[in-house]
Amino acid sequence: MSAPGTITPQARQKAQAALDRLAGLAAARGHWAPVWRELASQIMPRKGQGEPGPGRAGDEAVFDSTPAHSLELLASALGGLLTNPALPWFDLRLHRHARETDEARAFLAACRERLLALFNTEATGFQACVHELYLDLCLFGTAVLYVEPDQDSLVRFSARPLFEAHLAEDARGVVDTVIRTYSLAARQVFEQWGAACSPEVRRQAVENPEARVNLVHAVFPRVERDPASPASAHFPYACLFVEQDSGALLEESGYREMPYMCPRWAKASGEAYGRGPGLTALSDVRVLNAMSRTALMAAEKMSDPPLMVPDDGFLGPIHSGPGGLSYYRAGSQDRIETLPVRVDLGAVEAMIERRRQSIRRIFLADQLAPEGAGGTATEALIRQAEKMRILGPVLGRMQTEFLAPLIERTFNILLREGELPPWPKGLPQGSLRVDYSTPVGQFQRQAEAENLGQAVRYLQPLLAGGDPFHVLDNFDPDAMARHAADLFGLPGEFLRPLERVQELRQTRQNGTVSP
């Protein structure tokens, strides 16, 4: 038996492979890190890598709060549009090919309520960390959320700093590899992994418990595995925890689903990292901070201008403060005069305001601003639909890269923990689909419902007189009714299964037939 902390050749080989993969991803990410640091320093310094340092706020380059305020507004708007805690922002439904039953409908309703309650529970940390995710997404263009099982809250959500993450995509452009670097105190590492720690970490845990230990968490698709095996070593995604300095393999396990959600605002082909409004606004932000700094210096010079003082004739130092006295020899004609400083602060402020407006537009402040009163309801709907169309591509990517894997991962964790009702009999796996109740989807459904209404109004003259031409034979009223319920976002439990509808019709028909 190996001694505690002994690294077997196989474990060392796996750990070294993860470290080598990390080195390759870090090199590929090298040109992004300086851009992210500048974005953080110019807009939101607390998002930068590391602490500012003792006695420093880290905001030395920030001279105008407009970029940070615009960023906060856009992140808050995304939260209201996608994961609003006051609204049921998604619904669970069956695919069209799945057979509807009362049991399946009750199962979907119970699962939706359980999931929504979990997302809104303070213990899971979802609502607290999802805003940080939106800030990272809008600022850097890429964000990282980690979803893990938890003994106390069942599921734990945490937004990870982008500087920790190294990403890689599969052939379809989906992030399937995340290698995260972070640090913990030596005592925390020993408490979690015990004898698997290297001898140096075990020594530090006793002698210097707060010493930092650099760790690597690698998650990537497992190539060689047995899908029929229930062991974590054969799960679709491999999980390795490694000490970065010693190369000790602390833990090897796996995940059934990708635990990291990595949404991107927008991305160029072949790039693993996204580009967001922060990068688009960076040039304007640089100029705004520089102009604001210069304007402050100009205003200070005008309020406290430099002085022109003769080199002779004064008896002591010059006191330019309020109430200051400066003595000169009697009979001398020399005087202290101000150096003329001529600055058109009005023109400077106008230039600054144009930059502020440009930054606000880049962060979609004009699209997200509330509409004023006036106009008909139809006109207001058209204006709002135009705004939602501009946000459509971004929110569509968010549904694909964030909301869909988030709900799937959370649903499966609860199902495995027995926190959801039993899976209905006769319902095949993969029969569920998610409908997102985002404003974009609502406006799309409203437009489709308007088209349906226009078609009915167009056919109205042909239906006069009790449908003499049998036009309705071209339509399926049941399908239209159920589609209308979907368009207006009615919960699935409000509709009876088709089998129940047929039973009711048969009962009604039998009751009207004379014996």
Q: Bigger pLDDT: 264 or 499?
A: 264
> 200, exposed or middle or buried, with CB in 10 Å at 0-12, 13-18, 19+?
middle
Q: Bigger pLDDT: 470 or 103?
A: 103
- In the structure, what pLDDT confidence band is assigned to residue 460 with cuts at 50, 70 and 90? confident
Q: What is the mean pLDDT of residues 225-252?
A: 90
Q: Please determine, for residue 333, whether its predicted confidence score (pLDDT) is greater than 80.
A: no
Q: How many whole angstroms separate alpha carbon 142 and alpha carbon 278?
A: 11
pLDDT of res. 27: 94
Q: What is the mean pLDDT of residues 390-418?
A: 89
Q: Please determine, for residue 94, whether its predicted confidence score (pLDDT) is greater than 90.
A: no
pLDDT of res. 393: 79
- In the structure, what pLDDT confidence band is assigned to residue 513 with cuts at 50, 70 and 90? very low
Q: Please determine, for residue 485, whether its predicted confidence score (pLDDT) is greater than 80.
A: no
| Of 411, 116, 400, residue with least CA distance to 257 | 411
Structure tokens at 214: 């650099």
What are 212's strand-pairing partners? 185
pLDDT of res. 55: 47
Q: Please determine, for residue 1, whether its predicted confidence score (pLDDT) is greater than 50.
A: no
Structure tokens at 303: 């309020």
pLDDT of res. 374: 55
Of 16-20, 99-103, 283-287, 293-297, the one with minimum mean pLDDT is: 99-103
Task: Select the highest-mean-pLDDT range: 215-224, 425-434, 455-464.
Answer: 215-224
Cβ neighbour number for residue 252 with a 10 Å cutoff: 19
The answer to whether the CB of 247 falls within 8 A of the CB of 19 is: yes
Q: How many whole angstroms separate alpha carbon 159 and alpha carbon 456?
A: 49
> 285, exposed or middle or buried, with CB in 10 Å at 0-12, 13-18, 19+?
buried
pLDDT tens digits, 366-393: 877 765 555 555 565 566 666 667 777 7
Q: Please determine, for residue 515, whether its predicted confidence score (pLDDT) is greater than 60.
A: no
Q: Please determine, for residue 300, whether its predicted confidence score (pLDDT) is greater than 60.
A: yes
Which residues, in sequence order, are CB contacts of 216 under 8 Å at separation 6+?
A: 18, 19, 22, 179, 180, 181, 240, 241, 242, 243, 244
- In the structure, what pLDDT confidence band is assigned to residue 52 with cuts at 50, 70 and 90? very low
- Provide the percentage of residues in the chain whose pLDDT is more than 70: 81
